[in-house]
Amino acid sequence: MGRITYKETTQTKWNNPSGFAADLKPPDKPVFLHLAGPCPRCKDPMDYDYPLVTIQGVADIGAEGTEKVMETLEGLGHRPRSGDTDVDVICACIQVHTKDKEGCGAYCVFHATWGAANG
Ligand SMILES: [Zn+2]
Ligand SMILES: [Zn+2]
């Protein structure tokens, strides 16, 4: 969309960007909050998997270890719970706005809610 260059910037009006949505992933045994929508600045689509759980400890198990843990959690069958949180959204579109930078640099806050009334 035009020639937007990378710039770390935010605007109050970008918060809770329109067209953005959150859903649980996987829907029946959620481990992640999946966020998707157009970037409020560059309008390119972006999406994230935001962990619903945290694993705390002293030693970092690294990205690969975390991935394995998350895979294990998917099989545990914990049920969807309702909740809400503010998620910091940073543009992570696949468009190259500026070489060697991810996204266009825009950031904002998205208030995500999830949970099933029938859950
Ligand atoms: Zn973009
Ligand atoms: Zn963007």
In a domain, 2, yes or no: no
Number of domains in the chain: 1
Model pTM score: 0.77
Inside any domain, residue 31 = yes
- Ligand having the closest approach to the CA of 89: 2
Least confident piece of the model among 22-36, 55-69, 73-87: 73-87
- Expressed in angstroms and rounded, the spacing between residue 68 Cα and the centre of ligand 1 is 30
Mean pLDDT of 16-37: 88
Report if residue 62 sits inside a domain: yes
Q: Is 7 a member of any domain?
A: no
Per-residue confidence band for 114, with pLDDT thresholds at 50, 70 and 90: confident
In a domain, 3, yes or no: no
Q: What is the pLDDT of residue 1?
A: 45
Distance between Cα 75 and ligand 1 center (Å): 35
Q: In this structure, which residues have their CB less than 5 angstroms from ion ligand 1? A: 42, 44, 93, 95, 104
Instruction: Assess if residue 1 is contained within a domain.
Output: no
Query: What does the angle CA 114 – CA 91 – CA 29 come to, to the nearest 5 degrees?
Result: 30
DSSP string over 3-41: -PPP--B--GGGSS-TT-EEEEESSSS--EEEEEEE-TT
pLDDT at 119 over 60: no
Asked if residue 98 belongs to a domain, the reply is yes
Look at residue 85 and tell me if it is in a domain.
yes
Structural domain containing residue 110: 12-114
